[in-house]
């Protein structure tokens, strides 16, 4: 029951974080052409509400993902890591990197030196989603 609850919390928090990245990359960036000079004001209104929810959802996603990692990783066999464990490690690294980047940026004001837009985190989230589906077949 605990696993199911943590998994459900993880899925919802990832939907919030990934949904924001999806909206920002695919819709908000396209609105700039239509809104013209009003775009910065519209984006700031959007971001005003996003800043209240998305960073917390990212932290919950990383923490719940860490718990799920603990449950799913298992023990290392005599042959070394299984393919499942290798893919899970890649997912955990990418998710941890997103979480660290988000915490440093939002809570400590440290801006990333590279990849300042939300496009790179969006690509990482898409890769994590594909790895999530792929890891059960390797």
Q: What pLDDT is recorded for position 90?
A: 95
- What sign results for the dihedral spanned by CA atoms 130, 135, 137, 138? positive
Its domain, for residue 17, covers 2-134
Q: What is the pTM of this model?
A: 0.83
User: How many alpha carbons lie under 13 Å from residue 24 in its C-beta half-sphere?
Assistant: 22
* 116 pLDDT more than 80: no
Can you tell me the distance from the alpha carbon of 90 to that of 92, in angstroms, rounded to the nearest whole number? 5
Number of domains in the chain: 1
- Using only the alpha carbons of the chain, give its radius of gyration: 17
| Spatial contact of 15 and 23, defined as CB atoms under 8 Å apart | no
pLDDT in tens, 27-85: 887 888 888 888 888 888 888 888 889 888 999 999 999 999 999 888 888 888 888 89
Q: What is the pLDDT of residues 89-115, one digit of tens each?
A: 999 999 999 888 888 887 888 877 666
Instruction: Identify the residue with better confidence: 34 or 130.
Output: 130
């Amino acid at each position: 029951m605990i696993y199911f609850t943590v998994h459900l919390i993880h899925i919802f928090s990832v939907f919030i974080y990934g949904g924001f990245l999806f909206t920002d990359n695919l819709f908000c960036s396209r609105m700039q052409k239509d809104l013209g000079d009003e775009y910065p004001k519209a984006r700031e209104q959007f971001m005003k509400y996003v800043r209240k929810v998305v960073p917390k959802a990212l932290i919950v996603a990383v923490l719940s993902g860490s718990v799920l990692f603990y449950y799913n990783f298992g023990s290392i066999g005599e042959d070394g890591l299984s393919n499942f464990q290798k893919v899970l490690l890649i997912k955990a690294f990418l998710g941890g990197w997103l979480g660290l980047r988000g915490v440093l940026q939002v809570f400590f004001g440290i801006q990333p030196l590279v990849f300042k837009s939300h496009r790179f985190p969006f690509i990482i989230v898409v890769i994590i989603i594909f790895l999530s589906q792929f890891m059960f077949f390797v």
